Amino acid sequence: MGIELKMPALSPTMEQGTLAKWLKQEGDRIQPGDIIAEIETDKATMEFEAIDEGVLEKILVPAGTEDVAVGAVIALISGEGEEAQPAAASVSAPAAEPAPAPAAAPKAEKPVTAAPAADPAIPAGTQLVSTTVREALRDAMAEEMRKDPRVFVMGEEVAEYQGAYKVTQGLLAEFGPKRVIDTPITEYGFAGIGTGAAMGGLRPIVEFMTFNFAMQAIDHIINSAAKTNYMSGGQMRCPIVFRGPNGAASRVGAQHSQNYGPWYASVPGLIVIAPYDAADAKGLMKAAIRSEDPVVFLENELVYGRSFDVPSMDDYVLPIGKARIVREGKDVTIVSYSIGVGLALEAANMLANEGIDAEVIDLRTLRPLDKETVLKSLAKTNRLIVAEEGWPTCSIASEIISICMEEGFDHLDAPVLRVCNEDVPLPYAANLEKLALIDAARIAEGARKVCYKK
Amino acid sequence: MAKKPAKAAPSAADDSDFILHSLQEAFEAKKRYAASEAEMLEFYRQMLLIRRFEEKAGQLYGLGLIGGFCHLYIGQEAVAIGLQSALDNDRDSVITGYRDHGHMLAYGIDPRVIMAELTGRESGISRGKGGSMHMFSTEHKFYGGHGIVGAQVALGGGLALAHQYNADGGLCLAYFGDGAANQGQVYETFNMAALWKLPIVFVIENNGYAMGTAVKRGSAETEFYRRGTAFRIPGMKVNGMDVLEVRAAAEVACAHARSGKGPVLMECNTYRYRGHSMSDPAKYRSREEVQEQRDHHDPIEGLKKTLIEAGKTEDELKAIDKAIRAEVAQAADFAETSPEPEASELYTDVLVEEY
């Protein structure tokens, strides 16, 4: 019996990859530890190492094949051992977080897209280009760096590694090490240096490998960056962007899976942006870099690889502080942001089949919060829920509920509900993680409740 | 051990001749700045201005006109004046912690707007919204005035990065205390500053006490100038009670940082006569200890002696004091009579832009 070699998952969120190169040919003898192939993910190129002994009998997926699903059989090895081993592979790569293949690879969901409607006019005939969120963020930074020599990027692995999540890919080649600065692993220190550079007149973009690590640096984000303009009577500005992935990724456990939106959104003096799709990511990142105020820009690792239409324009900038109605509806409003928007749209589709017409609002900016769009929608639908990939207590959801109580009470036909993650640290086990996180079904259930339908 | 300072080497690891005390040796060779009489008089005037200003601030605090935390600089005057006088005010930037009145006065910032900030008035330098610990003057490249112990060190690293990025020839002087010297971010900043050869002079004002904790009770290495060694940052140990020594050391340090060789760590040994803040009963040290410093190490009395030896008379120096007392009294009047901020100021300056 031969051994099946399967496409490995090389990161917690990898769903597919490119089989870049075979380093062994059919007929070659293979020893454990031999590097058989190179596999490219959206983050990095990694080496695929054999753990079995035998002869490479058949290559099933030729070099250069893109989008090979995790778990797909890519080659067969004829076993020479006494017993056939189950297929397995180990990986040696300088990964930010090496992870074994999940038992069941997550489904490659096609994101539900919505045309950017309410934003500054996109001229008729503008080409829409399918772009990943990751590329959109990079393009936004590159465009602003071309325009303004004061803009630079700093953080862990942003330059030579091309970004732990490849968001800064290619920037070093174009802008050089003066403007794309690799830092040591020293969040508190480099957040302070970035903040000081902004006070000194530069326009830093500080990347945190994840916002979980920014907790070590939160003092500079809040005490140094957010408060200085006020404390100085408007003398000393701090135009800086703190950006990086936020919220739960996939199977990385409690310390790497937290949504800091509510934390930062509670701080006067900060702008907090958490976009969902690629067009918003681009337009709002450009706005963030241009802002005279300190901006916390919350991305989401699970969304980085999703593609959306982005208008091909010289200068696509969106307004900070404006929500967007991503799906119009009349029966119930679902307010969300970041990854929650995709789930809310899915939920809306489920509800549509049941005759409930849901309106979905993407807040996009968490501070300042676009109350007006939320309240207008409430006035129309009279029922509202908030879908948030984050804890329920002291959340953006609680804030929206409070706003609806204070300023929209007369429009309410039902209590406002929040659909959030469970109020626990995020567990590792696949089943428990799934139970802890929001999903479309739970959002739809919340919507039914406020519509008093089963 | 004494070697000549090595030539700049391509990488610190290859540089076997690297001497962490090279700057100290250069400083020891010419330890006191040869000030002209005019310069000495100016140092005297500036130090005395800080002293009288802080005494007045102490009084106003006692009268309830100044609130919150108020950290006085009395005793430490030579540090700010000696260092400040060596800077190029058109290019260099300064940042410090919350004990910041002295550094602002050293810049020549109007004592009236500083005092008015202490009393929380509209005409204060931060329009009454910062207070004692949060004062800034971007016009003078003075970047605060920071209330979180040690934060100014990393922020100073950023100012130095901006100097390097803009190639403006400037350097950053980042002051912090012996207490802040135990914060982790200080060492994170040392590492990056040395790695990137940032033009920055780290100045530890070692006044002997981190609030109420004596240096030896809070620090495993009490010789703070050695604390950059792990990052290959040359250290300097300076008598912070002698303005001419501080000035001489400042010239060595600034020349090093300005020439692209990276950071310098200077420890200035000094002493604060007053409590950590106005609310400090100072139970952790004896009266005798304070008196000994006042009697034998006072920076202003020390310079006064030098001036008298140089031919100045008591009367001439008294006249300077008189003028300063008048200036400080005026500042206090201004600070007391200036109106409080308008209620509408509550909502201004939270953000720069409108969204």
Task: Give the pLDDT of residue B14.
Answer: 52
Q: What is the pLDDT of residues A226-258, one digit of tens each?
A: 999 999 999 999 999 999 999 999 999 999 999
Say whether residue B155 is in contact with chain A using an 8 A CB cutoff: yes
**What's the burial of A246, exposed, middle or buried (CB within 10 Å: 0-12/13-18/19+)?**
buried
At residue A371, φ and ψ (nearest 5 deg) are: -60, -35
- Look at strands B200-206 and B264-269 and give their pairing: parallel
Task: Give the pLDDT of residue A1.
Answer: 57
DSSP letter, residue B127: T
- Whether residue B29 lies inside any domain: the answer is yes
CB-CB neighbors (< 8 A) of A235 in chain B: 125-126, 136-138
Task: Give the pLDDT of residue B216.
Answer: 95
Q: What average pLDDT does this structure show over B235-252?
A: 98
Q: Is the pLDDT of residue A90 over 80?
A: no
Min Cα separation A453/chain B (Å): 39
Min Cα separation A155/chain B (Å): 12
Within a 10 A sphere around the Cβ of B284, how many other Cβ atoms? 15
Contact criterion met (CB below 8 Å) for B158 and A195? yes
Distances (CA, A) of A336 to A273, A362, A386, B325: 13, 5, 6, 62
Q: What is the pLDDT of residues A284-340, one digit of tens each?
A: 999 999 999 999 999 999 999 999 999 999 999 999 999 999 999 999 999 999 999
CB contact under 8 A, B188 and A220: no
- Residue by residue, what is the 3-state secondary structure of chain A? CEEEEECCCCCCCCCEEEEEEECCCCCCEECCCCEEEEEECCCCEEEEECCCCEEEEEECCCCCEEEEECCCEEEEEEECCCCCCCCCCEEECCCCCCCCCCCCCCCCCCCCCCCCCCCCCCCCCCCEEEEEHHHHHHHHHHHHHHHCCCEEEEECCCCCCCCCCCCCCCHHHHHCCCCEEECCCCHHHHHHHHHHHHHCCCEEEEECCCCCHHHHHHHHHHHHHHCHHHHCCCCCCCCCEEEEECECCCCCCHHHCECCHHHHHCCCCCEEECCCCHHHHHHHHHHHHHCCCCEEEEECHHHHCCEEEEECCCCCCCCCCCCEEEECCCCEEEEECCHHHHHHHHHHHHHHHCCCCEEEEECCEEECCCHHHHHHHHHHHCCEEEEECCCCCCCHHHHHHHHHHHHHHHHCCCCCEEEECCCCCCCCCHHHHHHHCCCHHHHHHHHHHHCCCC
Amino acid at A233: G
Contact criterion met (CB below 8 Å) for B228 and B285? no
- d(C-alpha B187, C-alpha B206), whole Å: 17
CB-CB neighbors (< 8 A) of B93 in chain A: 200
Task: Give the pLDDT of residue A92.
Answer: 44
Q: Is the pLDDT of residue B16 over 90?
A: no
- Look at strands A90-92 and A151-155 and give their pairing: unpaired
Q: What average pLDDT does this structure show over A75-88?
A: 59
A53 catalytic residue (yes or no): no
Task: Give the pLDDT of residue B260.
Answer: 95
Distances (CA, A) of A443 to A93, A196, A276, A331, B246: 38, 43, 17, 14, 67
Cα angle A407, A412, A416 (rounded to 5 degrees) comes to 90
Q: What is the pLDDT of residues A207-233, one digit of tens each?
A: 999 999 999 999 999 999 999 999 999
**What's the burial of A29, exposed, middle or buried (CB within 10 Å: 0-12/13-18/19+)?**
exposed
Q: Is the pLDDT of residue A391 over 80?
A: yes
Task: Give the pLDDT of residue A93.
Answer: 42
At residue A443, φ and ψ (nearest 5 deg) are: -65, -45
Q: Please name the member of A193, A219, A236 whose beta carbon is closest to the beta carbon of B161.
A: A193
**What's the burial of A310, exposed, middle or buried (CB within 10 Å: 0-12/13-18/19+)?**
buried
Q: What is the pLDDT of residues B298-340, one digit of tens each?
A: 999 999 999 999 999 999 999 999 999 999 999 999 999 999 9
CB contact under 8 A, B355 and A365: yes
CB-CB neighbors (< 8 A) of A191 in chain B: 154
Q: What is the pLDDT of residues A192-205, one digit of tens each?
A: 999 999 999 999 99
Give the residue from chain B lying closest to A186, CA to CA: B188
CA-nearest of A42, A31, A47, A41 to A90 is: A47
User: According to DSSP H, which parts of B237-341 are helical?
Assistant: 243-258, 287-297, 299-309, 314-337
CB contact under 8 A, B163 and A201: no
- Whether residue B118 lies inside any domain: the answer is no
- Whether residue B211 lies inside any domain: the answer is yes
Contact criterion met (CB below 8 Å) for A272 and A287? no
Contact criterion met (CB below 8 Å) for B268 and B204? yes
In sequence order, which residues have a C-beta less than 8 Å from that of residue B121 and are 6 or more positions away?
B128, B335, B338, B339, B340, B341
Instruction: Give CA torsion, residues A302, A308, A311, A312, to 10 deg.
Output: 80
Of A1-15, A65-79, A196-210, the poorest mean pLDDT is in A1-15
- Whether residue B187 lies inside any domain: the answer is yes
Task: State the total domains in chain B.
Answer: 1
Give percent above pLDDT 70 in chain B. 95
Q: What average pLDDT does this structure show over A374-380?
A: 98
Q: Is the pLDDT of residue A101 over 70?
A: no
Task: Give the pLDDT of residue B6.
Answer: 47
A187 catalytic residue (yes or no): yes
Q: Kindly name the residue from A135, A143, A156, A187 that is annotated as catalytic.
A: A187
Q: What average pLDDT does this structure show over B177-195?
A: 97
Q: Is the pLDDT of residue B164 over 60?
A: yes
Task: Give the pLDDT of residue A6.
Answer: 87
A to B CB pairs, distance under 8 Å = 154
| Mean pLDDT for all residues in chain A | 90
- Whether residue B36 lies inside any domain: the answer is yes
Task: Give the pLDDT of residue B278.
Answer: 81
Q: What is the pLDDT of residues B22-40, one digit of tens each?
A: 899 999 999 999 999 999 9
Q: Is the pLDDT of residue A116 over 60?
A: no
Task: Give the pLDDT of residue B11.
Answer: 53
Give the residue from chain A lying closest to B91, CA to CA: A200
Question: Residue A72 has which token pair?
Answer: 């797909």
- d(C-alpha B213, C-alpha B211), whole Å: 6
- Whether residue B119 lies inside any domain: the answer is no
Preceding peptide of A427 cis, ω within 30°:
no
Min Cα separation A194/chain B (Å): 6
Chain A, 346-405: which have a CB under 8 Å from a chain B CB?
365, 368
Q: Is the pLDDT of residue B9 over 60?
A: no
Q: Please name the member of A186, A190, A196 whose beta carbon is closest to the beta carbon of B156.
A: A196
CB-CB neighbors (< 8 A) of A294 in chain B: none
In sequence order, which residues have a C-beta less than 8 Å from that of residue A285 and are 6 or more positions away?
A136, A137, A140, A141, A144, A241, A243, A297
- d(C-alpha A338, C-alpha B150), whole Å: 35
Q: Please name the member of A194, A269, A292 whose beta carbon is closest to the beta carbon of B158.
A: A194
Q: What is the CATH number of the domain that holds B299?
A: 3.40.50.970
CB contact under 8 A, A192 and B155: yes
Instruction: Give CA torsion, residues B331, B332, B337, B342, to 10 deg.
Output: 80
- d(C-alpha B150, C-alpha B330), whole Å: 34
3-state secondary structure of B265: strand
- ipTM field: 0.91
- Whether residue B8 lies inside any domain: the answer is no
Cα angle B25, B156, B115 (rounded to 5 degrees) comes to 105
Question: Residue B80 has which token pair?
Answer: 């700010």
Sign of dihedral through CA atoms A317, A322, A328, A332?
positive
Amino acid at A71: G
- Whether residue B322 lies inside any domain: the answer is yes
What pLDDT band is residue A118 in, cutting at 50, 70 and 90?
Answer: low
- A148: Cα within 13 Å, side-chain hemisphere: 16
DSSP codes of every residue in B196-241: TT--EEEEEEE-SEETTEEHHHH-S---GGGGGGGGT--EEEEETT
What pLDDT band is residue A5 in, cutting at 50, 70 and 90?
Answer: confident
Task: Give the pLDDT of residue A85.
Answer: 44
CB contact under 8 A, A199 and B129: no
Say whether residue B350 is in contact with chain A using an 8 A CB cutoff: yes
CA-nearest of A276, A293, A169, A170 to A242 is: A293
Q: What is the pLDDT of residues A159-176, one digit of tens each?
A: 999 999 999 999 999 999
Task: Give the pLDDT of residue A53.
Answer: 83
Q: Please name the member of B137, B157, B352 whose beta carbon is closest to the beta carbon of A192.
A: B157
Q: What is the pLDDT of residues A336-376, one digit of tens each?
A: 999 999 999 999 999 999 999 999 999 999 999 999 999 99
CB contact under 8 A, B349 and A268: no
CA B174, distance to chain mean position in Å, is: 8
Task: Give the pLDDT of residue A71.
Answer: 86
CB contact under 8 A, A293 and B165: no
Tell me the residue range of the domain where B270 lies: 16-110+140-327
Residue burial A102-122, b: 16+ Cβ < 10 Å; e: rest: beebbeeeebbbbebeebeeb
Min Cα separation A141/chain B (Å): 18
CA-nearest of A136, A140, A154, A159 to A305 is: A136
What pLDDT band is residue B279 in, cutting at 50, 70 and 90?
Answer: confident
What pLDDT band is residue A4 in, cutting at 50, 70 and 90?
Answer: confident
In sequence order, which residues have a C-beta less than 8 Å from that of residue A366 and are 6 or more positions away?
A261, A262, A264, A265, A272, A273, A274, A298, A337, A396
Task: Give the pLDDT of residue B280.
Answer: 82
Question: Residue A384 has which token pair?
Answer: 């509202």
Of A51-60, A173-182, B154-163, the poorest mean pLDDT is in A51-60
